[in-house]
């Protein structure tokens, strides 16, 4: 039988250098999220399909890997983390004081038939701020996103903000069928005023609605929204939404990140549960967004019958790495020193590695029966900085090879550690 040894389409192995790159992003994430008081959460990779499907919309449900459990229930691999977090909060954290701040770093799975599509397993990191619907909460999540991306080392980060409710209510007010709604959304995205005006004429928009669409699609910054007034309008809650956006903008000024934030009236996320502001983060050199999020005030209700407002975001770790690479940033820490210790006297070799490790330097014990040349060859190919051949006592000078410089010195372990310490100063 011919065995295919590759991983399934859209999945991949992470070899040590890739894991190290991933860890770089993860560590920064944890550091920043924890500093802001967010607590890490984990959930199962497999959940009941009803749970994962709640509120996310049919596109995402279609893209889930689903299968039947032994008891006949349909389960699926999680395709995103907000629905699992909503389940946890509404079933196990109801007593927790609100707002609740949670974060996660998880692999998620999406099945895609399109050959353009990306990975089917990928890593997402995100936060959820649950139980609060103030502008300060939206501002916090947006500035946390900005702060984390800057901390990673990314430059020219920008965040584009839209509003799910504002767009939805105005589209509803236009009274178009599904197909025409799609056309209109396209025109708004293309920011093509000529075609937009023509379309609105053809579909006999009222002059107020016409004006609202034109003005909103002209706004590039949140503060420009103050010139748009829909006060006398009957378009759902649009006026509240505009006010909310302006309040978020004020919060962003206080956080000092308003310069990174832009307004895009046409911005939509491909998940349905969003009710308020929605946003996407990007850098100019990467053509795909790094991630995004928004406010979802009605999702919790679908799980627990309790209305709990919430907001959050998720970024893709791989995209962050691609963005760093596009800006020429190399996250691998090449300065990390590795030492290999070999000896005919196992007890003193073990004492030596322990002494080295206690100073924070990585030390490996030679566990082979190889001769000096084989050990040196292994060290060279394995990326070691030093090889130390110790005698029966650590007090006696050991032969210490510097692999990069191709030199050898005789000195005690203590003297060696001393010199390493000096180097690092």
Partner 1 sequence: MKRKIRIAIPSKGRLSKPSIQVLQEAGVNILKKERTYVSETSDSRFDAVFARAFDVPIYIQYGAADLGITGHDVILERGSDIHELLDLGFGKCQLVVAVPENSGIRSVNDIPTVARVATEYPNLCQKYFESIGKQVEILVVRGTAELAPKLGLAQTIVDITETGKTLRKNKLNVIATILDSSCRLACNRIAYRVFESEISELLGKMKRGGN
Closest separation between CB of residue 284 and partner 1, Å? 5
Cα 206 from chain centroid (whole Å)? 42
Tokens of 207: 């002059």
* Helices 135-152/238-255 angle, 10° precision: 50
Shortest Cβ 268–partner 1 spacing (Å): 11
137 or 320: whose CB is closer to partner 1? 320
Number of CB atoms found within 10 A of residue 350's CB = 14
In angstroms, what is the minimal distance from the CB of 157 to partner 1? 11
Q: How far is the CB of 293 from partner 1 (least distance, A)?
A: 17
Nearer to partner 1, 167 or 376 (CB): 167
- Provide the minimum distance between the beta carbon of 217 and partner 1 in the complex, in angstroms, as a whole number: 12
Neighbour tally for 160: CB within 10 Å: 19
120 touches 110 (CB < 8 A):
yes
Q: Looking at beta carbons only, is 157 or 400 nearer to partner 1?
A: 157
Residue 263 vs 389, nearer CB to partner 1: 263
**Closer Cβ to partner 1, 83 or 159, answer by number:** 159
In the complex, least distance from residue 188 CB atom to partner 1, rounded to whole angstroms:
11
- How far out from the chain centre does Cα 54 lie? 22
**Shortest distance (Å) from residue 118 CB to partner 1:** 10
Closer to partner 1 at the Cβ: 192 or 211?
192
Instruction: Name the CA dihedral angle for 136, 140, 142, 145, rounded to a multiple of 10 degrees.
Output: 180
CB of 178 to partner 1, least distance (A): 16
Interface positions with partner 1 (CB under 8 A): 114, 116, 158, 160, 186, 189-192, 194, 220, 262, 264, 282, 284-289
Q: Compare residues 136 and 286 and give the one whose CB is closer to partner 1.
A: 286
Looking at beta carbons only, is 168 or 191 nearer to partner 1?
191
CB burial of 279-304 (b: ≥16 within 10 Å; e: otherwise) equals: bbbbbeebeebbbbbbbbbbbbeebe
């Amino acid at each position: 039988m011919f065995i295919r040894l590759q991983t399934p389409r859209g999945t991949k192995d992470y070899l040590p250098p890739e894991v190290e790159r991933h860890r770089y992003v993860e560590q920064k994430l944890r550091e920043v999220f924890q500093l802001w008081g967010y607590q890490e959460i984990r959930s199962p990779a497999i959940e009941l399909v009803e749970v994962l499907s709640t509120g996310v919309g049919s596109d995402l449900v279609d893209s889930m890997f689903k299968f039947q459990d032994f008891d006949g229930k349909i389960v699926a691999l999680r395709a995103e983390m907000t629905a699992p977090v909503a389940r946890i909060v509404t079933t196990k954290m109801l007593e927790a004081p609100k707002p609740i701040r949670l974060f996660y770093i998880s692999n998620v799975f999406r099945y895609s038939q399109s050959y353009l599509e990306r990975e089917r397993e990928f890593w997402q990191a995100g936060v959820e701020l649950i139980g609060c619907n103030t502008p300060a909460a939206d501002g916090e999540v947006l500035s946390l996103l900005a702060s984390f991306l800057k901390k990673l080392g990314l430059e020219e980060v920008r965040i584009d903000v839209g509003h799910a409710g504002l767009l939805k209510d105005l589209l509803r007010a236009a009274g178009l069928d599904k197909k025409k709604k799609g056309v209109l959304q396209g025109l708004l995205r293309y920011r093509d005023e000529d075609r937009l005006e023509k379309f609105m004429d053809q579909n006999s928009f009222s002059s107020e609605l016409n004006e609202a669409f034109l003005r909103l699609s002209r706004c590039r910054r949140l503060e420009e929204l103050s010139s748009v007034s829909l006060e006398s309008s009957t378009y759902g809650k649009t006026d509240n939404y505009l006010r909310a956006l302006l309040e978020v903008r004020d919060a962003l000024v206080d956080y000092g990140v308003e310069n990174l934030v832009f307004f895009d009236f046409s911005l939509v996320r491909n998940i349905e549960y969003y009710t308020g502001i929605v946003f996407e983060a990007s850098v100019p050199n990467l053509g795909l967004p790094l991630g995004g999020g928004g406010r979802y005030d009605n999702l919790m209700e679908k799980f627990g019958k309790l209305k709990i407002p919430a907001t959050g975001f998720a970024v893709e770790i791989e995209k962050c790495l691609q963005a760093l690479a596009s800006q020429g940033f190399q996250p691998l820490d090449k300065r990390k020193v590795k030492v290999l210790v070999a000896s005919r006297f196992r007890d003193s070799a073990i004492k030596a590695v322990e002494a080295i490790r206690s100073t924070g330097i990585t030390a490996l014990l030679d566990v082979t029966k190889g001769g000096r040349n084989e050990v040196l060859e292994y060290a060279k190919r394995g990326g070691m900085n030093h090889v130390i051949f110790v005698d029966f006592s650590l007090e006696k000078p050991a032969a210490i090879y510097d692999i990069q410089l191709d030199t050898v010195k005789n000195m005690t372990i203590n003297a060696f550690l001393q010199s390493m310490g000096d180097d690092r100063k």
